[in-house]
């Protein structure tokens, strides 16, 4: 998709959401649901409440959580795809733990790692890493053996086969996974920033809620949405530069 179409799509979506929001606000007519106009008018006060710092702190937690999940998940996924015995060893573990709602482990993680960033990042990693492992393993196993033949006949080393065949083959699946992971990480963030911190966009929203500052609360919601959207666009750009051959 061209940049121009994308901008059009964004504007259309933005407009639709705001119209729905506006209509709902007018119909409900309560202080807990202000109109978008009121919220946007209030946005310029946000610099005083240091919203940008909250966003940066959240960004740090998301990047760390998603980054660790990707690296760890890729390593384990590749290990399971390449080695039958590792797959036999790890598969039951992955299969069994996959459906456990990892958010339920939050108290355990908090007790073990304290209230700081490490427990927040750990819970993100716990939730994401399994889907990365499975996505990577399956993507590698789906590459047909024929794909490797011409490069094998060139006497390519294992590293070259990985670089020229495996990595580009699994890249589209990895990017889709990254997209899902970031969405999930943002949701977990909200939850994980509800305790033991004075910073982060999740904290900001919950704090405004507690202070009955509804305009501030909505501003936070708009900010976290835009934040998610920017990350989304960045993945789009990444996808277009690395997987242009698919389009």
In the bound state with other proteins, the residue whose beta carbon lies nearer, of 172 and 194, is: 172
* DSSP string for 166-201: IHHHHHHHHHHHHHHHHHHHHHHHHHHTTSS-S-SH
Question: For residues 89 and 234, what is the distance between their CA atoms, to the nearest angstrom?
Answer: 36
Q: List the one residue out of 136, 23, 32, 21 whose CA is nearest residue 87.
A: 136
Output the smallest distance, CB 246 to other proteins, in A.
Answer: 8
In the bound state with other proteins, the residue whose beta carbon lies nearer, of 156 and 180, is: 156
In the bound state with other proteins, the residue whose beta carbon lies nearer, of 60 and 164, is: 164
Output the smallest distance, CB 239 to other proteins, in A.
Answer: 13
The pair of three-digit structure tokens given for residue 197, joined into one six-digit string: 């911190």
In the bound state with other proteins, the residue whose beta carbon lies nearer, of 97 and 160, is: 160
Q: In degrees rounded to 5, what are phi and psi of residue 34?
A: -75, 160
Question: For residues 205 and 200, what is the distance between their CA atoms, to the nearest angstrom?
Answer: 9
Angle at the Cα of 226 from the Cα atoms of 215 and 207, rounded to 5 degrees: 40
In the bound state with other proteins, the residue whose beta carbon lies nearer, of 90 and 171, is: 171
- Does residue 245 touch other proteins according to CB under 8 A? yes
Angle at the Cα of 176 from the Cα atoms of 2 and 51, rounded to 5 degrees: 80
Output the smallest distance, CB 78 to other proteins, in A.
Answer: 18
Output the smallest distance, CB 240 to other proteins, in A.
Answer: 13
Number of residues near other proteins (by CB under 8 A): 19
For residues 61 and 51, the answer to whether their CB atoms sit within 8 Å is no
In the bound state with other proteins, the residue whose beta carbon lies nearer, of 213 and 240, is: 240
- Does residue 84 touch other proteins according to CB under 8 A? no
Q: List the one residue out of 101, 105, 81 whose CA is nearest residue 91.
A: 81
Binding mask 137-176 for other proteins (x = CB under 8 A): ---------x--xxxxxxxx---x---xx--xx-x-----
For residues 124 and 61, the answer to whether their CB atoms sit within 8 Å is yes
- Does residue 1 touch other proteins according to CB under 8 A? no
Which positions touch other proteins (CB under 8 A)? 146, 149-156, 160, 164-165, 168-169, 171, 243-246
């Amino acid at each position: 998709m061209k940049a121009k179409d994308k901008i059009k799509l964004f504007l259309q979506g933005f407009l639709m959401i705001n119209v729905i929001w506006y209509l709902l606000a007018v119909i409900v007519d309560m202080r807990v649901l202000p109109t978008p106009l009121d919220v946007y008018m209030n946005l310029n006060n946000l610099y005083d409440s240091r919203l940008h710092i909250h966003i940066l702190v959240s960004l740090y937690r998301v990047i760390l959580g998603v980054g660790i999940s990707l690296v760890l998940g890729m390593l384990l996924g590749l290990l399971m795809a390449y080695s039958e015995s590792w797959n036999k060893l790890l598969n039951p573990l992955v299969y069994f733990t996959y459906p456990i709602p990892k958010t339920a482990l939050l108290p355990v993680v908090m007790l073990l790692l304290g209230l700081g960033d490490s427990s927040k990042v750990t819970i993100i990693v716990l939730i994401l890493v399994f889907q990365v492992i499975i996505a990577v393993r399956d993507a590698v196993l789906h590459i047909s053996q024929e794909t490797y033949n011409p490069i094998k006949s060139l006497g390519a080393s294992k590293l070259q086969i990985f670089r020229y065949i495996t990595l580009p083959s699994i890249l589209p699946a990895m990017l889709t996974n990254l997209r899902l992971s970031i969405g999930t990480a943002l949701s977990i963030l909200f939850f994980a920033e509800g305790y033991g911190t004075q910073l982060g966009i999740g904290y900001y929203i919950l704090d405004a809620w507690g202070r009955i500052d509804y305009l501030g609360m909505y501003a936070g919601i708009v900010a976290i949405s835009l934040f998610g959207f920017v990350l989304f666009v960045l993945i789009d750009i990444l996808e277009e530069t690395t997987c242009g051959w698919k389009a």
